[in-house]
Structures are given as structure tokens and as C-alpha cells.
Copies of this chain bind each other. A is one copy, B any other.
Amino acid sequence: MEAGAPPVYPERSKRKATLSDVARAANVSLSTASKALRNQERISPETRERVRKAAKDLSYTPNSFAQSLVSGRSHTIGIITQDLQGRFCTPALIGAERILGEEKTSIMLVNAHGRPDLERTHIRALLSHNIEGIIAINPETNPRPPLDFELNIPTVYAYAPSLNPDDCSITCDNVDAGRLVARHLVEDAHRTRIAFIGGVESFVASTDRLEGAQAELAEHGLSIVSPIRFGTWTEAWGREATLDLLDSGISFDAVICQNDQIARGCIHVLMQRGLRVPQDVAVTGHDDWDIICVDAPVPITSVSNEVEVIGAKAAMMLVDAINGEPHHGTTYVPCKLYPRASTIG
């Protein structure tokens, strides 16, 4: 086989064409060109076509600065995240992006890395760009102080609600998430001796989910059979806590793990000790992180916080606010249980 000739890529022109260039090329005035391109007003079909062609030939794109300057609108919103690497900011960003892309709204992205000073700096930068709204995404559901700026531009807090109850926040219902898991174990998996391995205690998500689980169990006349222990969000903690649990001699037929990694560690130890999952012990996780849950040796039943939905809803509420119909207070997106082999045979 002969080597094909290398493809030739088109020359790229130097300077951006302006509307004046287009007008000149089409032999019309500035305003005529302007109108023709936005097929407004009364313009003769021929001129319109002529202008269009000129614009195309010059590969004209309107200068949005100038447009914004006169219209007062930027069609741009700011998204301020705290950490892009984590498990939570990114899905929210994705959800928001999906909605805003449809709305032809551009996203200016900044990352405050959890530093309030950087947050302020970035907000100033965003405001300079005349953004029409802000979505603040935080990686935990712990309520956060409101953004520190004086302007009255629409703001939506995603995942972490604002401490100001009047602000528009959108987050998940941790208490209900706890209930979901407990109900599933009792009603679907028919468990009665349910143990618990917590995540990090300082997360309100941890205590709220626990509270929900306990409330649900109580309604079934049950309670958690193990000591309530918190640790870290890691597999290692899942393994350690499970070993302790087994050694304690407590009899249990299910374990609520507060995230997927913990569940994964837990299952590993259970299987190592010759216990069958779910026949002998059912295990649940949380977060529904597919890479952890779905393809595991025993796929893990988990609860999703629907962070992408939260991001999308945040974007929709922001768009509403920009259009003059603001929302107030905190909206809760329901969590969702995904049953898998770790609880149901």
C-alpha cells in the first residue's frame, strides 16, 4: 500500500471580520447588515442574501462583547466549584452544562479549591464578565455560607445549600436516603439484624442518613444491632470495621455502609471469611459510583444522590431566576436506590 498524500488543512485568516467588513463587502450600510443577519425588520430578500453570503465568506462571528455592551446581556453564567477531581462537583457540573448548553448560555468556570479568598477573587472576575447568574457547587451537603458579593444577581447553590434560608439551594434528601436503604433491607431483602458502618462523622450526610435509617427501622420495630461507628470514606475502613464487627460476635444479616468504598471493603472481608453475599449478609453502599459498584465481584446495591440531576435542576432554576422568576429556599432532589446483587439474590 502506498502512503496517501498528507491531508491539506485550510489556511486560517488572521483578523476577525467585523460587521463593518461584512457591510462593506455586501455594499450596504452597517445597520442594514445588522438587520439582515438577524433576519429582522423589512429587508429585501436579495440584500439579505448578499449580506449573508458576505458574512459567510468572511466567516464572520459577531463580537459578543459589543453585543453584550449594548444589550446589557452576556448570556453567560458562572459556575464556581471547589474541587473538580472529587466525586460530586463534576457530575453537578455535567448536569448543569447539559441544560445550559441547550439554553445557549455559556459557562464560565472557576475553581475556588475550597479557599474563601480565592472564591472572592474569582467572583470578582466573574462579575467583570457580566455573568447573569452563578451556580455554586460544593462537594459536600454541609450547608455553606452564602457567596460573598454585593450584587443582586441570581445565585443557586447546588449540593451544599446556603446557610441563608432565603437563598435558592438545591440538594439531596439525606434523611430519606437513609430510609430508602433501611426499607430496602427490611422489606425487599428481609433482613432483621442490621449492622452499620459509618463514613466521616462531620458530614451532615453521615448523621442524616443514619437518622433516616434508624427512623425507618424503628417503624419496623427494629434497630441497628452493631455499635454506631464512624471512620473514613475508604475501603480500608470498610475492611477494618467489618473485621471488628465479625470479631465482636454480634450476629447480623446485613450491613449498611455509608459509601460504596466502605461497602466494597466490607464485602471483601465477608467473602474472605467465607460468608456469602447476599445469602448470609446483605451489604449496601452509597453514592452509586458505577466504577465501584457495578462491575464489582458482587455488584453493590447503592443509593445515588442524583448529583447530575441536582446540577441540571440548579441550572434550570437559575435560568428561571434570570428570566425574572426566582426560586427561594431549599429544594430537595430525592435520592434513588439501585438494587444490585449485594442485597438481592
CA distance A128 to B18 in the complex (A): 11
Once the chains bind, are B128 and A239 in contact (CB under 8 Å)? Answer: no
Most B CB contacts (10 A, CB to CB) among A61, A109, A164, A292 go to A61
CA distance A201 to B128 in the complex (A): 48
- One digit per residue, 1 when the CB lies within 8 angstroms of any chain B CB and 0 when it does not, for chain A 234-266 equals 111001000000000000000000000100010
Interface residues of A in 49-106 (CB under 8 A from B): 59, 61-69, 74, 76, 79, 84-85, 90-91, 93-94, 97, 101, 104, 106
A111 beta carbon closer than 8 Å to chain B: yes
Task: Name the contact of A64 in the complex, choosing from B84, B93, B129, B166 (C-beta under 8 A).
Answer: B129
Once the chains bind, are A152 and B14 in contact (CB under 8 Å)? Answer: yes
A46 beta carbon closer than 8 Å to chain B: no
- The interface on chain A, measured as residues whose beta carbon lies within 8 A of the other chain's beta carbons, has a size of 66
Once the chains bind, are B97 and A84 in contact (CB under 8 Å)? Answer: yes
Closest partner residue, chain B, to A67 (CB atom): B128
Q: Which residues of B contact A66 (CB under 8 A)?
A: 65, 69
Which of A4-12, A316-324, A326-334 is the contact stretch? Answer: A4-12
Once the chains bind, are B108 and A101 in contact (CB under 8 Å)? Answer: no
A150 beta carbon closer than 8 Å to chain B: yes
A41 beta carbon closer than 8 Å to chain B: no
A268 beta carbon closer than 8 Å to chain B: yes
A116 beta carbon closer than 8 Å to chain B: no
Task: Name the contact of A234 in the complex, choosing from B64, B93, B128, B295 (C-beta under 8 A).
Answer: B295
Q: Which residues of B contact A151 (CB under 8 A)?
A: 12-13, 16, 59
A231 beta carbon closer than 8 Å to chain B: no
A107 beta carbon closer than 8 Å to chain B: yes
The 3 A-B pairs of least Cβ separation, nearest first, read: A12-B152, A64-B128, A65-B65
Give the interface of A toward B (CB within 8 A).
6-7, 9-10, 12-14, 16, 59, 61-69, 74, 76, 79, 84-85, 90-91, 93-94, 97, 101, 104, 106-111, 118, 122, 124-125, 127-130, 146, 149-152, 163-166, 234-236, 239, 261, 265, 268, 289, 291-292, 295-297
